[in-house]
Amino acid sequence: MSNLKGFAFGILTSATFGLIPLFTLPLMAEGMLFDSILFYRFLFAALALAGIMAAKKESFHVERGEIPVLVLLGFFYTASAMFLFWGYSFMSAGIATTLHFTYPVFVTLIMLLVFKEKTSRITLMAIVLAICGVARLSIDEGDTRLSASGVFIVLLSAVGYALYITTVNKSFAGGSTRGLKMTGRKLTFYVFIVSTILFAVKAGTHEGIQPVPDLMSFANLVLLAIVPTVISNITLVLAVHNIGGTLTAVLGAVEPITAVCVGVLVFNEPFTPNLAMGILLIIVAVTLIILSKSIQGALRKIYRKATHLQALK
């Protein structure tokens, strides 16, 4: 029963995050700039999390030494959100979210290049598949489907999220203390606070924070803050608690599928064979990276059994 709940939470995490375009594109159609959209998103999300923490009587106290790490995490999370929303100006929401889903590839590269963690042939093959998937999304019947700058911008969102995940893993892990003595909910709350401040500053240096145009836009902002921001983070914690991080990450494949479905069904975006192939290649690549250790273990068992049978002959 615990595994069933974990799978449900994991699917809900990815599905809710994939709904970002559903609430964002109508706001952009009303003339709201992404700086203002993201400011309201993280402000409302922080308020919602503050309410949850207050209801659970959870302390808001942080140590002075934890502040630099929280600011760094907020910067990475802000960069990821900013580049993803910027990417919506260059390409369809489904393709942008799918490109963003390459972040596990960048996590692997960061761990390999920065922290010198060894990688496997399976992981290298997955990276090649991911690159092929990105190229497939970018080319349609021999013509350039997306601008190079658009692809680069959205891939920067994936890099930002990969840096966020890597930093969390190195400073905070599953309730243990590695520099940060706080729960995941508190960490997320302060990351949202930092993101809110950064987007307020960024908006202030340009057009300023725009007023909410109408009641429907306010509803979309609230839903953007609650569904693909607060809920996705809470269900992520619950999924990891029930089925572990690996299986939860595998279920992240639902994220681009949800985004593409929203784009096709709600916003009438075209769904071409090249788009389907690109999505498939990226999902296969990311799944291979996440399951590389399990695959290597299974291959070693098969090899040992084959060697043992050969010795008996």
pLDDT of residue 278: 80
CB 110 within 8 A of CB 158: no
**181 phi and psi angles, rounded to 5 deg:** -100, 70
- Model confidence, pTM: 0.79
**CA separation for the pair 48, 225 (Å, rounded):** 8
Query: Between residues 207 and 247, which one has the greater pLDDT?
Result: 207
Cα distances from 92 to residues 238, 248, 270, in angstroms, run 31, 26, 9
**Cα separation, 209 vs 42, whole angstroms:** 13
Which tokens go with 193?
Answer: 């606070």
Phi/psi of residue 296, nearest 5 degrees:
-65, -40
Do the beta carbons of residue 262 and residue 93 sit within 8 Å? yes
* Distance from chain centroid for Cα 216: 26
Torsion of the alpha carbons at 212, 213, 219 and 224, rounded to the nearest 10: -60
Residue 246 has pLDDT above 70, yes or no: no
Of 199 and 180, the structure prediction assigns the larger pLDDT to 199
**CA 262 to mean position of chain CA atoms:** 17
Write the CB contacts of 258 (distance below 8 Å, at least 6 apart in sequence): 14, 15, 17, 18, 19
Do residues 112 and 120 lie in contact, with contact meaning Cβ atoms separated by under 8 Å?
A: no
Per residue in 257-276, pLDDT tens? 777 777 778 878 777 787 78
- The one-letter code for the residue type at 115 is F
Which pLDDT score, from 0 to 100, does residue 101 have? 77
pLDDT of residue 141: 46
**Tokens read off for 133:** 């998937």
pLDDT in tens, 101-152: 788 788 878 878 887 777 677 777 877 887 787 777 666 544 445 678 888 9
Asked if 195 and 49 count as a contact pair (C-beta separation under 8 A), the reply is: no
Q: Whose CA is closest to 100, among 258, 225, 234?
A: 258
Work out whether strand 176-177 and strand 172-173 pair parallel, antiparallel, or are unpaired. Answer: antiparallel
Length of the chain: 313
